[in-house]
Amino acid sequence: MTGRTAALRESPASEAVRRTLAGNKLQLGQIWFQGLLMAALIVALGVLVSLLLDVFERGGAMLAQRGVDFLTAGTSANPAIAGVGQGIFGSLVIVVMVLVFAFPVGIGAAIYIEEYARDTFLTRVLNAAVRNLAGVPAIVYGLLGLAVFVIILSSVTGGRSVIAGGFTMAALVMPIVVITTAESLRAVPRSIREAGFGVGATKWQVIRHHVLPYAAPGILTGSILTLSRAFGETAPLVLAGGVLGGFATRPGLGVVETLQGPYTALPLIVFNWARQPSDGFRQLSAAAIIVLLAIILLLNGAAIYLRSRFEKRW
């Protein structure tokens, strides 16, 4: 049996048929085109790799040598002792404020839009507002932060403070949370909800006990990605009062005074150092980038892993 098919395959007739079907030409054009497409991907990946290599080459040695000192030291005009401590503190406060303000509001808004809202004029306006907000350039949120949180609400925020920065970032991130959450909610099939209503559950009971658990992995993934976005976003903080030069954190201040005082964030420090022409600051900047990228790639990696782990097809 196998001998016969092998003989068939080698017969001159079948070879001729195969040739004709293949158009008699070597498919050079096809291969060339596919190679071109792969090249596009390879260039994109090459950038990622060369970026990481360059950053490690410049900043890796310094980071390894300074170690914990670099992570805790304050900003300084002297590259030998400057560190990212204040930046990490500022970024953490901002991330916590995003978690506390943007996430509950964003998820709540998404639940309203997906589960409660009927197709009315108000709903359409709401949808348009969210989508447009998500497309507004980050720096415009910086203007919002400068005008509203730094200037108008200065009695609450203390002016150019980390509170103002945190609120600005929360405003920037909120529409993104709404969109990713709404997508996860939409992916839960109608039948799940109908089954819930069928046994007499109220709207909230259906959402709480059936829709949200199914949507949770998606919401979690989106939230992690959003959080990493908030961690790396720089432009709005530049306008919303983040300090680019050095400042001294005075010891012995209360929580409120610290939060209302001057602040900086990890990406702001990278920005400030990257602009300095001296080699010392280039190294510092690369070292700060390693810290920043480590956090962001870790968050994004976790999100991508979670998504592939919990991916569900209905």
Partner 1 sequence: MLTLTDLRGSPTRRGRETLIRAMFLGAAAVSLVISALIVLTLVGRALDFISRVDIADLVSVGWLPRRGYFDIATIFFGTLVITAIGMVIATPLGLGAAIYLSEYASPRRRRVLKPIIELLAGIPSVVLGFYAIAVLAPAMVQPLCGSNSIFSMGAAGLGVGILITPLIASVAEDAMHAVPMSLREASYGLGARKRSTSLRVVLPAAVSGIVAALILGVSRGIGETMVVSIAAGAVGGSVFTVNPCLPGQTMTAAMTALATGSDQAQVGAELAVPSLFFVGLLLFAITLGLNLVSERFVRRVRKAY
State the maximum Cα–Cα separation within the chain, in Å, rounded to a whole number.
92
Instruction: Report the alpha-carbon distance of residue 185 to residue 210 in Å, rounded.
Output: 11
Whose Cβ is closer to partner 1: residue 61's or residue 297's? 297
- SS3 for 38-57 is HHHHHHHHHHHHHHHHHHHH
How would you classify residue 200: left for phi > 0, otherwise alpha for psi between -120 and 50, otherwise beta?
left
Whose Cβ is closer to partner 1: residue 215's or residue 258's? 215
Whose Cβ is closer to partner 1: residue 136's or residue 256's? 136
Q: Least Å distance between CB 81 and partner 1?
A: 21
Q: Least Å distance between CB 197 and partner 1?
A: 13
Whose Cβ is closer to partner 1: residue 6's or residue 31's? 31
Whose Cβ is closer to partner 1: residue 192's or residue 306's? 306
CB 205 within 8 A of CB 218: no
Instruction: Report the alpha-carbon distance of residue 38 to residue 32 in Å, rounded.
Output: 10
CB 241 within 8 A of CB 146: yes
Position 290: which residue type? I
Whose Cβ is closer to partner 1: residue 233's or residue 258's? 233
Instruction: Report the alpha-carbon distance of residue 108 to residue 166 in Å, rounded.
Output: 20
Whose Cβ is closer to partner 1: residue 11's or residue 132's? 132
Instruction: Report the alpha-carbon distance of residue 5 to residue 15 in Å, rounded.
Output: 13
Q: Least Å distance between CB 6 and partner 1?
A: 28
Q: Least Å distance between CB 83 and partner 1?
A: 18
Whose Cβ is closer to partner 1: residue 126's or residue 192's? 126
Q: Least Å distance between CB 271 and partner 1?
A: 5
Q: Least Å distance between CB 1 and partner 1?
A: 30
Q: What is the CA radius of gyration of the chain?
A: 27
Q: Is 255 exposed, middle or buried (0-12, 13-18, 19+ CB in 10 A)?
A: exposed
Q: Least Å distance between CB 130 and partner 1?
A: 5
Tokens of 263: 């602040």
What are the helix (H) ranges across 98-233? 103-111, 121-135, 138-144, 154-157, 162-186, 190-198, 203-206, 212-232
Q: Least Å distance between CB 191 and partner 1?
A: 22
